[in-house]
Structure 1
Amino acid sequence: MKILIVIGKYPNYGGTEVVTTVLANSFVKKGYAVTIASFEQTVPELSSELDPSIVLRKLSYPVITPKNIKVLKKIILDNEIDFILNQWCLPFYVTVLCNMAIGKTNCKLISVMHGVPDKNKRTMYFENKMKSSKNRLLIKVYEVLRRAMLVFTSYNSRYVYDNSSAYVVLSKSFINTFVRFSGLKNTSKLITIGNPLTISDQEFGHDSSSKEKIILYVGRIDYTHKRVHRIIEVWEKMYGNYPDWKLVIVGDGPEKSNLETYVEQNKITGVHFEGFTNKPPTAYYKKSSILILTSDLESFGLVLTEAMSYGMVPVVYGSYTAVYDIVTDGKSGFITSMPYSEEETINKLRELMSDENKLDAMAKEALRKSQDFSLEMVLTKWEALFSTLNNKK
């Protein structure tokens, strides 16, 4: 089996990019030949994480050009590529490029949606503008723009689906959303394959003796999507009653300096901003007890399954349906209801921080639940998809 992965930015930091590396290396171990073609190679040193047999090729902007078509067509013909995995399936023109390169060959295109079908950063931008504006005219303008963006995204999604051999979404809960949003009548090409855990199976485990009283956030620090300020505001109301606990924020982003200033000015103790360092997230997972996420926009939440595989108990805002596939509310973690409630978040944290037995029991259940997303299980689903497509004329 020969596979070509097409992606926007790679090598690069980010969930989709990490998953791409893990899948590519795993396909090689299964005996497949893998080539990766990307438009931007922003962190080239990360290519060292790839198996030496994997070939990394460079494409260029704009996306649809005779040069890019020629490069991809040559890869397909020279390597007898069986499948293209399109990891950048929106916007639609990446699909156009892939199909122009495929031409009349037997290569099949599999498009992977790495987001929520009916929500994205652009629609969220206009939603937040509507909420923050007090000008009625501007609110109406933002609403028109938001609706226009949704219509455009819907057409994008439908085009990619219609022009792919298979369309992969990350969660079962996304199936109905995608069907409704894109107006599908025939769903035969729609498949669910979640993101795999990106850590070795040998690392799984929960050792309560190694755990410290740490609430952890890992990810980008921004206002619009991740809403990390909510975590700081929650901690501000709690830290005085839990002097033996601390909050650790791992990541970087546009809001980091603002939040650091807020913590300093308000003399909030027990907060540690780690930034992105050479220390892997697993170093934090191993010793932290609770993971907190208060994002307005997530797709799958790779950090969620990773943290759970180390026996961390998640307290996560249920703003996206995939979280219900990952966390069993009240057993392997807590999912707070919509709309966001600071009070509910605080209550769930207190419930865990005040009861070590409950925390330990839920940690063990979180570890067990994370196994549903083991690499081997995800690879089995990919191989089943390859087999199905190979059997279709």
Structure 2
Amino acid sequence: MSVFAARVCGFAEGGKRRHQLRREGRLMLNRFLSARSAAVAVAVGLAFAVTAEAKTVDPKTSSIVRGDAAALGFDPAKLDVARAALKADVASGKIAGAYLLVGRHGKVAFQEGFGVQGPGQAAPVSDETIFRIFSMTKPVVSVVAMTLVEEGKLDVDAPVSKYLPEYANLSVWQADGSSVPAAKPMLVRHLMSHTSGLIYGFITPTAPIAKAWAAGGENRNDLTAREYAKVIAKLPLKNEPGTAWNYSRSTDVLGAVVEVAGKKPLDVLVKERVTGPLGMTDTAFFQPEAKRARFAEPAKGDAGVYYDYAKPTPFLSAGGGLSSTTEDYLRFVLMLAGDGEYKGVRILKKETLARMRQDETTPEIRKAGLFFPGPGMGFGLGFSLVNDDTLQRPGNGTFSWWGIAGTEFWVDPKNDVFMVFMVQARELAMEYQRKNRTWIYDALVK
């Protein structure tokens, strides 16, 4: 598996206000300059700078607000089950290390690092250890996209071809290996909900369509996001857009759409619209060499999966390219749990986040594709969703996603529970998803 293939397996209120402030600041400045009042103009500029600065969370202030587990409704003895299990996994060599954080009502009930950052390392795992989060990149980029929607720069119901013209003439794979012109347009919301018809070849690598995709350049990482989207546009869709759910390169194509709509490179948009305002200073597509001592590595694994954090490639994968820390990603999770706002910094309007949490799938769409989130689940604009009132673990309305190396987060509004889990263990990803739910909801007693 190539490095690229591995990296997949992953008006905003603040933006609107910043835009308004910049516009008002420019208008005021022009008026003062026209009156030749340079002194007042300087004062206005200083006032504007101070106001804009207040819209960013201080990165030096921890995102972790600790609470008492029992007071938050958890049985500490049952949380110890998770602690003992993860310690045992480290002791047996199953994993090098991991970090588990669980919270409720905006406060952390349990947090602990286990083991070391990698084989042969002495540095223990901490909330500042940097992990490859792979597909947990997708929700971040989806939020960036929705900030553009709020500003009127992006329309989720518009054809992708509005932003990427090469998507006007798509084809659909046929059983005999041929392809026919697509009958339906691919919409931006299809990209965000994995109902675009695109695929990930690695999921069914021996399938004829996957082989065709590999031959057509799916796994290239020597291209920019915009160039890569052009390559994908030439490949056949597995299904007509909007008719089936298949986990796919959709978010990578969304990254190119976002670049066009936002008129800036993806990494700049992510920093300006999400990670910068939230103070997520350790979240990036590529890390500086100076942070290498904080990089997490697997106990075992394919070098093609675990790319070098500090070795940039031209491609910024919106589907799986970020690395982050527990501390950083918690800021993002708390923003989601706070209906789009964290510590006074609003990233999305409440109603925008609610739109992201609406199920884009139907029973027919789930049945037509390979819908691995499972029974009682749906998928919105960037998140998997629990959409079954009978489910309690986690509660109905929970939204979440994970990365191929086992990283995971969820926000459960019904129980007001959130969690972040970090590990580098691709072969154990599904196992830890099941265990995390058991550990946490067994411990939730009130």
* TM-score higher than 0.5: no
The structure carrying a bigger helix percent of its residues is: 1
- The answer to which structure, 1 or 2, has the higher relative contact order (CA under 8 A, 6+ apart) is 2
TM-score (norm 1): 0.28
